[in-house]
Amino acid sequence: MPPRSHILVVNGRKVRQPVFVIGAPHSGADLFGRALKQSAGFHITIGQEAVQSVVYAFARSPSIQRGRSDAAATVLRDAFAQAWQVTAHCCLTCSPFCRDAGQVTGPSCCVSERDIVRYGDASPDLMYCADTLVDAFPDARLVQIIRDGRDVVAAMLGDPQALAWFKPGIANVETEFPNPFFGIETEQDLAIWPDLSAAGKCALRWRGAVRAMARLRAALSAEQLTTIRYENMLRHPAAAASAVSGFVGDKVAQIAVKAARRDGQPSAEPGAWRRQLTSSQLSEIESVAGPDLRRVGYLD
């Protein structure tokens, strides 16, 4: 059956072809979201509480969506309807990154309601709701960002928030199976989980994400989904912006490479894993995700 048509009106405008940026943790979805947010006519949110709470509920407990696709789509659509509302002081409740991306410093709003042409979102871990996004917005445009899994692992190891998900009592790998959020697909994955180091668990999350992205690519048309490599995005920002502009049908601002490296973290640089990962960590990453690294072109 074709997807049911839903009309969502926000700020007096119908939401048409919203743009969503997805990717594994630390793959650069936030950087591309920043570029979209600074593009004329786009109202892009990043980490709005209304959306993030739903994203993590669905990502951490995928069982609540199974067999309830219409209900899940309605919940997500309602979350975006709330997140995209423009009021006089709407940015006061935004995440710090969203405010920074919108260059908001006071009690103002990052966008003028009358200027909005397109809506979108680049919230962390949005990719774990990708199927529901398409159910909620059948005309959505999805931009996938893929990054070398070794650099992703190195960046995650330097991020206390990313590592916090692995703590006992938080990692719900035994109560939710399979568990896409942690990249656990099989009984074998579940069996090796307790013995994996933090690097191995990060690699498993990256592996699960790129496999999910491959399934999306197979299921959606080239008109609805495109994939960009993080490395190309940083090395050739103008070309990346041009490619996505053609895909979404509106001009996208160039990726701000300097902004991507504004905090001086070497993990933002392609190939930083060579300085940051130990030989034992690389060996474990190879064991967990080697075939997938080769499949997506990051290992010979």
Q: Could you list the pLDDT tens digit for every one of the 300 residues in the chain?
A: 444 567 899 988 899 999 999 999 999 998 899 999 999 999 999 999 999 999 999 999 988 887 788 999 999 999 999 999 987 666 766 777 676 777 766 666 777 888 899 999 999 999 999 999 999 999 999 999 999 999 999 999 999 999 999 999 899 999 999 999 999 999 999 999 999 999 999 999 999 999 999 999 999 999 999 999 999 999 999 999 999 999 999 999 988 765 554 444 445 889 999 999 999 999 999 999 999 999 999 986
Which residues does 41 contact at the CB level (< 8 Å), separation at least 6? Answer: 115, 116, 117, 118, 250
In what helix (H) or strand (E) does residue 142 lie, and over which residues does it extend? strand 141-146
pLDDT at residue 92 in the model: 66
What is the spatial distance between Cα 145 and Cα 27, in angstroms, rounded to a whole number? 6
pLDDT at residue 112 in the model: 81
Query: Is residue 226 classed exposed, middle or buried when 0-12, 13-18 and 19+ CB atoms within 10 A define those classes?
Result: middle
Tokens for 169, please give them: 């009592």
Q: Are 239 and 232 in contact (CB under 8 A)?
A: yes
What is the spatial distance between Cα 43 and Cα 19, in angstroms, rounded to a whole number? 10
User: CA triplet 184, 229, 192: central angle to 5 degrees?
Assistant: 15
Give SS3 for 282: helix
Q: Are 26 and 267 in contact (CB under 8 A)?
A: yes
Phi-psi sector, 251: left (phi>0), alpha (psi -120 to 50), beta: beta
pLDDT at residue 105 in the model: 66
Q: At residue 120, what is the residue type?
A: G
pLDDT at residue 114 in the model: 84
**In order of start, what are the domains of the chain with their CATH numbers?**
11-295 (3.40.50.300)
pLDDT at residue 126 in the model: 96
User: CA triplet 144, 20, 45: central angle to 5 degrees?
Assistant: 130
Q: How far is CA 196 from CA 72, 157, 166, 171, in A?
A: 33, 14, 11, 13
Which residues does 28 contact at the CB level (< 8 Å), separation at least 6? Answer: 145, 147, 230, 233, 234, 260
Q: Are 127 and 212 in contact (CB under 8 A)?
A: yes
What is the spatial distance between Cα 59 and Cα 38, in angstroms, rounded to a whole number? 28
Tokens for 36, please give them: 């979209």
Q: DSSP letters of 181-230?
A: GGTB-SHHHHHHGGG--HHHHHHHHHHHHHHHHHHHHHHS-TTTEEEEEH
Phi, psi angles (nearest 5°) of residue 6: -125, 140
What is the spatial distance between Cα 11 and Cα 245, in angstroms, rounded to a whole number? 24
Q: Are 37 and 94 in contact (CB under 8 A)?
A: no
What is the spatial distance between Cα 37 and Cα 169, in angstroms, rounded to a whole number? 36
Tokens for 61, please give them: 């407990």
Query: Is residue 211 classed exposed, middle or buried when 0-12, 13-18 and 19+ CB atoms within 10 A define those classes?
Result: middle
What is the spatial distance between Cα 175 and Cα 14, in angstroms, rounded to a whole number? 40
